[in-house]
Amino acid sequence: MEISNHKLKCKNGDFSVSYEESPNCSGPFANELPDTIVIHYTAGSSLSSSVNWLTNPQAKASAHLVIGKSGEIVQLVPFNIKAWHAGRSIWKGRQGLNHFSIGIELDNAGMLEKRADGFYTCFGKRIDNSQVVLAPHKNGREEKAWEAFTEKQIDAVEKICLILKEEYPITEIVGHDDIAPKRKTDPGPAFPLQNLRNNVLIGRADNHEDEASEQRLSAGIVSADYLNIRSSPDGNSSLVSEPLPKGTKLAVIEEKAGWLRVKVILEGWVSKKWVKEI
Ligand SMILES: [Zn+2]
Protein backbone atom coordinates (compact mmCIF):
# COMPACT_ATOMS: atom_id res chain seq x y z
CA MET A 1 0.00 0.00 0.00
CA GLU A 2 1.01 3.59 -0.52
CA ILE A 3 -0.54 7.04 -0.32
CA SER A 4 -0.83 9.07 -3.47
CA ASN A 5 -2.75 12.34 -3.63
CA HIS A 6 -3.99 11.75 -0.07
CA LYS A 7 -5.59 8.48 -1.08
CA LEU A 8 -4.58 4.98 -0.18
CA LYS A 9 -3.52 2.85 -3.16
CA CYS A 10 -2.80 -0.82 -3.10
CA LYS A 11 0.44 -2.01 -4.63
CA ASN A 12 0.82 -5.53 -6.06
CA GLY A 13 -2.60 -6.54 -4.77
CA ASP A 14 -1.43 -6.68 -1.16
CA PHE A 15 -4.70 -5.20 0.11
CA SER A 16 -8.05 -4.40 -1.41
CA VAL A 17 -8.66 -0.66 -1.38
CA SER A 18 -11.69 1.06 -2.85
CA TYR A 19 -12.98 4.63 -2.73
CA GLU A 20 -16.54 5.77 -1.95
CA GLU A 21 -16.75 9.50 -1.57
CA SER A 22 -18.53 10.83 1.53
CA PRO A 23 -20.07 14.32 1.51
CA ASN A 24 -19.71 14.39 5.32
CA CYS A 25 -16.47 16.31 5.51
CA SER A 26 -15.17 19.85 5.74
CA GLY A 27 -12.18 21.77 4.42
CA PRO A 28 -8.52 20.79 4.48
CA PHE A 29 -6.47 20.39 7.66
CA ALA A 30 -4.27 23.25 8.82
CA ASN A 31 -0.51 23.03 8.33
CA GLU A 32 1.38 20.32 10.21
CA LEU A 33 -1.86 18.33 10.56
CA PRO A 34 -3.28 15.72 10.89
CA ASP A 35 -1.07 14.56 13.74
CA THR A 36 -3.40 12.04 15.40
CA ILE A 37 -5.19 8.82 14.40
CA VAL A 38 -8.49 7.94 16.07
CA ILE A 39 -9.62 4.31 16.06
CA HIS A 40 -13.34 3.43 16.09
CA TYR A 41 -15.64 0.48 15.70
CA THR A 42 -18.73 0.93 13.56
CA ALA A 43 -21.21 -0.97 15.79
CA GLY A 44 -22.77 -1.79 12.43
CA SER A 45 -23.93 -5.05 10.87
CA SER A 46 -21.53 -5.13 7.91
CA LEU A 47 -18.86 -3.18 6.05
CA SER A 48 -21.30 -2.22 3.28
CA SER A 49 -24.01 -1.05 5.66
CA SER A 50 -21.48 1.14 7.48
CA VAL A 51 -20.11 2.55 4.21
CA ASN A 52 -23.68 3.27 3.04
CA TRP A 53 -24.46 5.12 6.25
CA LEU A 54 -21.20 7.07 6.42
CA THR A 55 -21.64 8.28 2.83
CA ASN A 56 -25.27 9.30 3.42
CA PRO A 57 -25.63 13.08 3.94
CA GLN A 58 -28.22 12.42 6.67
CA ALA A 59 -25.64 10.65 8.80
CA LYS A 60 -23.59 13.81 9.23
CA ALA A 61 -20.80 11.40 10.11
CA SER A 62 -17.93 9.82 8.21
CA ALA A 63 -14.40 8.56 8.66
CA HIS A 64 -11.36 8.52 6.43
CA LEU A 65 -11.35 4.73 6.22
CA VAL A 66 -13.57 1.78 7.05
CA ILE A 67 -11.92 -1.63 7.34
CA GLY A 68 -13.89 -4.84 6.85
CA LYS A 69 -13.40 -8.14 8.64
CA SER A 70 -11.31 -9.57 5.81
CA GLY A 71 -9.04 -6.52 5.88
CA GLU A 72 -10.70 -4.87 2.88
CA ILE A 73 -10.36 -1.10 3.02
CA VAL A 74 -12.84 1.55 1.87
CA GLN A 75 -11.69 5.15 1.87
CA LEU A 76 -14.44 7.76 2.25
CA VAL A 77 -12.50 11.03 2.64
CA PRO A 78 -8.99 11.99 1.40
CA PHE A 79 -6.43 12.27 4.22
CA ASN A 80 -5.89 16.03 3.73
CA ILE A 81 -9.60 16.76 4.37
CA LYS A 82 -11.39 16.73 7.74
CA ALA A 83 -13.81 13.82 8.16
CA TRP A 84 -16.57 13.86 10.79
CA HIS A 85 -15.76 10.94 13.07
CA ALA A 86 -14.85 12.31 16.50
CA GLY A 87 -17.73 14.61 17.48
CA ARG A 88 -17.45 16.38 20.81
CA SER A 89 -14.01 15.34 21.97
CA ILE A 90 -10.90 16.49 23.77
CA TRP A 91 -7.36 15.18 23.97
CA LYS A 92 -4.40 16.81 25.70
CA GLY A 93 -6.13 20.18 25.84
CA ARG A 94 -7.28 20.26 22.21
CA GLN A 95 -11.01 20.11 21.53
CA GLY A 96 -12.77 18.78 18.45
CA LEU A 97 -10.42 16.07 17.24
CA ASN A 98 -11.89 16.19 13.72
CA HIS A 99 -9.64 19.21 13.15
CA PHE A 100 -6.48 17.25 13.98
CA SER A 101 -7.05 13.61 13.21
CA ILE A 102 -7.56 10.82 10.75
CA GLY A 103 -10.49 8.55 11.67
CA ILE A 104 -10.36 4.81 11.04
CA GLU A 105 -13.52 2.76 11.53
CA LEU A 106 -13.41 -1.01 11.92
CA ASP A 107 -16.42 -3.11 10.97
CA ASN A 108 -17.25 -4.58 14.38
CA ALA A 109 -20.44 -4.92 16.43
CA GLY A 110 -18.85 -3.54 19.58
CA MET A 111 -20.53 -4.30 22.88
CA LEU A 112 -22.66 -7.45 22.87
CA GLU A 113 -25.73 -8.44 24.82
CA LYS A 114 -25.70 -11.66 26.82
CA ARG A 115 -28.83 -13.75 26.45
CA ALA A 116 -29.65 -17.20 27.81
CA ASP A 117 -28.30 -18.94 24.69
CA GLY A 118 -25.27 -16.78 23.91
CA PHE A 119 -24.10 -13.33 22.86
CA TYR A 120 -25.95 -11.06 20.43
CA THR A 121 -25.19 -7.81 18.65
CA CYS A 122 -27.49 -4.80 19.09
CA PHE A 123 -29.03 -5.72 15.72
CA GLY A 124 -29.89 -9.22 16.91
CA LYS A 125 -27.19 -11.35 15.28
CA ARG A 126 -25.74 -14.14 17.38
CA ILE A 127 -21.93 -14.06 17.72
CA ASP A 128 -20.11 -17.35 18.19
CA ASN A 129 -18.45 -17.65 21.62
CA SER A 130 -15.05 -17.95 19.92
CA GLN A 131 -15.52 -14.37 18.64
CA VAL A 132 -16.45 -12.92 22.03
CA VAL A 133 -14.02 -11.07 24.28
CA LEU A 134 -15.05 -10.67 27.93
CA ALA A 135 -13.40 -7.69 29.59
CA PRO A 136 -14.22 -4.53 31.49
CA HIS A 137 -13.91 -1.29 29.53
CA LYS A 138 -11.02 0.93 30.61
CA ASN A 139 -13.53 3.65 31.50
CA GLY A 140 -15.75 1.26 33.50
CA ARG A 141 -15.50 -1.58 35.97
CA GLU A 142 -18.03 -4.21 35.00
CA GLU A 143 -17.02 -7.01 32.70
CA LYS A 144 -18.82 -6.78 29.34
CA ALA A 145 -18.86 -8.82 26.15
CA TRP A 146 -17.33 -7.44 22.94
CA GLU A 147 -17.03 -8.77 19.41
CA ALA A 148 -13.43 -9.73 18.63
CA PHE A 149 -11.62 -7.91 15.82
CA THR A 150 -10.15 -10.12 13.11
CA GLU A 151 -6.40 -10.55 12.69
CA LYS A 152 -6.73 -9.19 9.16
CA GLN A 153 -8.32 -5.99 10.47
CA ILE A 154 -5.64 -5.54 13.10
CA ASP A 155 -2.92 -6.20 10.53
CA ALA A 156 -4.48 -3.75 8.04
CA VAL A 157 -4.81 -1.01 10.68
CA GLU A 158 -1.18 -1.37 11.68
CA LYS A 159 0.07 -1.24 8.08
CA ILE A 160 -2.11 1.79 7.35
CA CYS A 161 -0.95 3.63 10.49
CA LEU A 162 2.69 3.01 9.52
CA ILE A 163 2.08 4.41 6.04
CA LEU A 164 0.15 7.40 7.44
CA LYS A 165 3.02 8.14 9.82
CA GLU A 166 5.41 8.33 6.88
CA GLU A 167 3.18 10.79 5.05
CA TYR A 168 1.79 12.95 7.89
CA PRO A 169 3.30 14.13 11.20
CA ILE A 170 1.46 11.49 13.26
CA THR A 171 2.47 11.43 16.94
CA GLU A 172 -0.69 10.05 18.61
CA ILE A 173 -3.00 7.08 18.17
CA VAL A 174 -6.07 7.16 20.40
CA GLY A 175 -9.43 5.45 20.73
CA HIS A 176 -12.72 7.30 20.41
CA ASP A 177 -13.17 6.20 24.04
CA ASP A 178 -10.02 8.16 24.98
CA ILE A 179 -11.18 11.44 23.46
CA ALA A 180 -14.90 11.15 24.38
CA PRO A 181 -14.81 8.84 27.41
CA LYS A 182 -18.28 9.70 28.70
CA ARG A 183 -20.04 9.16 25.36
CA LYS A 184 -18.09 6.45 23.61
CA THR A 185 -16.86 2.90 24.19
CA ASP A 186 -15.13 2.28 20.85
CA PRO A 187 -12.83 0.64 20.02
CA GLY A 188 -13.07 -0.90 23.53
CA PRO A 189 -11.00 -3.59 25.23
CA ALA A 190 -11.15 -6.10 22.36
CA PHE A 191 -8.89 -3.83 20.29
CA PRO A 192 -5.10 -3.99 21.02
CA LEU A 193 -4.61 -0.23 21.04
CA GLN A 194 -1.48 -0.24 23.19
CA ASN A 195 0.16 -2.77 20.87
CA LEU A 196 -0.69 -0.61 17.88
CA ARG A 197 0.78 2.45 19.59
CA ASN A 198 3.95 0.56 20.46
CA ASN A 199 4.37 -0.89 16.98
CA VAL A 200 3.64 2.30 15.08
CA LEU A 201 4.79 5.17 17.29
CA ILE A 202 7.70 3.56 19.07
CA GLY A 203 8.73 0.85 16.67
CA ARG A 204 9.08 -2.83 17.39
CA ALA A 205 11.59 -4.31 19.84
CA ASP A 206 14.36 -1.73 19.21
CA ASN A 207 12.57 0.83 21.27
CA HIS A 208 12.47 -1.29 24.38
CA GLU A 209 16.22 -1.60 24.25
CA ASP A 210 16.53 2.17 23.96
CA GLU A 211 14.30 2.64 26.98
CA ALA A 212 16.29 0.17 29.03
CA SER A 213 19.64 1.68 28.07
CA GLU A 214 18.46 5.21 28.91
CA GLN A 215 17.54 4.24 32.43
CA ARG A 216 20.27 1.86 33.35
CA LEU A 217 23.67 2.69 34.75
CA SER A 218 25.34 -0.46 33.54
CA ALA A 219 24.73 -4.08 32.83
CA GLY A 220 25.78 -7.07 34.91
CA ILE A 221 25.60 -10.81 35.06
CA VAL A 222 24.97 -12.98 38.15
CA SER A 223 28.24 -14.64 39.20
CA ALA A 224 26.96 -16.60 42.25
CA ASP A 225 25.25 -19.96 41.74
CA TYR A 226 22.01 -18.40 43.03
CA LEU A 227 21.48 -14.78 43.99
CA ASN A 228 18.61 -13.51 46.16
CA ILE A 229 16.68 -10.55 44.76
CA ARG A 230 15.09 -8.44 47.49
CA SER A 231 12.52 -5.66 47.84
CA SER A 232 15.00 -3.23 49.46
CA PRO A 233 18.79 -2.89 49.97
CA ASP A 234 18.70 -4.92 53.19
CA GLY A 235 19.54 -8.61 53.73
CA ASN A 236 16.42 -9.02 55.91
CA SER A 237 13.94 -7.62 53.38
CA SER A 238 11.52 -9.88 51.54
CA LEU A 239 12.46 -11.70 48.36
CA VAL A 240 10.74 -10.48 45.19
CA SER A 241 11.13 -13.73 43.29
CA GLU A 242 12.97 -17.03 43.23
CA PRO A 243 16.75 -16.55 43.46
CA LEU A 244 18.36 -15.63 40.14
CA PRO A 245 20.55 -18.39 38.69
CA LYS A 246 24.14 -17.87 37.61
CA GLY A 247 24.41 -16.16 34.23
CA THR A 248 21.19 -14.11 34.54
CA LYS A 249 21.61 -10.75 32.80
CA LEU A 250 20.84 -7.63 34.80
CA ALA A 251 20.33 -3.94 34.01
CA VAL A 252 21.60 -1.84 36.92
CA ILE A 253 19.28 1.09 37.66
CA GLU A 254 20.67 2.39 40.97
CA GLU A 255 23.50 1.71 43.42
CA LYS A 256 23.22 2.13 47.21
CA ALA A 257 25.56 1.03 50.01
CA GLY A 258 26.79 -2.12 48.39
CA TRP A 259 23.46 -3.00 46.80
CA LEU A 260 22.33 -2.66 43.21
CA ARG A 261 18.73 -2.06 42.15
CA VAL A 262 18.41 -4.15 39.03
CA LYS A 263 16.01 -5.18 36.31
CA VAL A 264 16.28 -8.75 35.23
CA ILE A 265 16.76 -9.13 31.49
CA LEU A 266 15.21 -12.26 30.16
CA GLU A 267 14.33 -13.02 26.62
CA GLY A 268 12.10 -15.79 25.37
CA TRP A 269 8.61 -16.58 24.13
CA VAL A 270 5.51 -16.74 26.34
CA SER A 271 1.90 -17.58 25.51
CA LYS A 272 0.09 -14.36 24.65
CA LYS A 273 -3.15 -15.39 26.34
CA TRP A 274 -1.52 -15.20 29.77
CA VAL A 275 -0.09 -11.72 29.32
CA LYS A 276 -2.18 -8.68 30.22
CA GLU A 277 -1.43 -5.42 28.42
CA ILE A 278 -0.71 -2.53 30.76
ZN1 LIG B 1 -16.32 6.15 17.23
State whether 137 and 229 are in the same domain: no
- 3: nearest Cα among 99, 97, 102: 102
Q: Average of pLDDT values for 232-237?
A: 87
Q: Average of pLDDT values for 110-131?
A: 96
Instruction: Give me ligand 1 centre to Cα 103, in Å.
Output: 8
* Domain-embedded: residue 276: no
pLDDT greater at residue 161 or residue 254? 161
Of 185, 204, 223, the residue that ends a domain is: 204
Domain that holds residue 212: 208-267
In the residue annotation, 267 being an active-site residue is answered as no
State whether 185 and 220 are in the same domain: no
* Domain-embedded: residue 240: yes
State whether 261 and 147 are in the same domain: no
pLDDT of residue 213: 47
For 18, the 3-state DSSP assignment is strand
* Domain-embedded: residue 216: yes
State whether 87 and 126 are in the same domain: yes
State whether 233 and 187 are in the same domain: no
Which amino acid type is present at position 263? K
State whether 129 and 33 are in the same domain: yes
* Predicted structure pTM score: 0.74
* Domain-embedded: residue 277: no
Q: Which of 72, 105, 209, 254 is catalytic?
A: 105
State whether 111 and 165 are in the same domain: yes
Instruction: Give me ligand 1 centre to Cα 54, in Å.
Output: 12
Q: Beta partners for 28?
A: 81
236: domain CATH number is 2.30.30
pLDDT of residue 101: 98
State whether 152 and 52 are in the same domain: yes
71: left (phi over 0), alpha (psi -120 to 50) or beta: left
Ligand 1 (ion): residues with CB under 5 Å are 40, 176, 186
How far is residue 50's CA from residue 72's CA, in Å, rounded to a whole number? 13
pLDDT greater at residue 209 or residue 4? 4
Instruction: Give me ligand 1 centre to Cα 106, in Å.
Output: 9
For 175, the 3-state DSSP assignment is strand
Instruction: Give me ligand 1 centre to Cα 258, in Å.
Output: 54
pLDDT of residue 237: 86
* pLDDT for residue 205 is more than 60: no
Instruction: Give me ligand 1 centre to Cα 28, in Å.
Output: 21
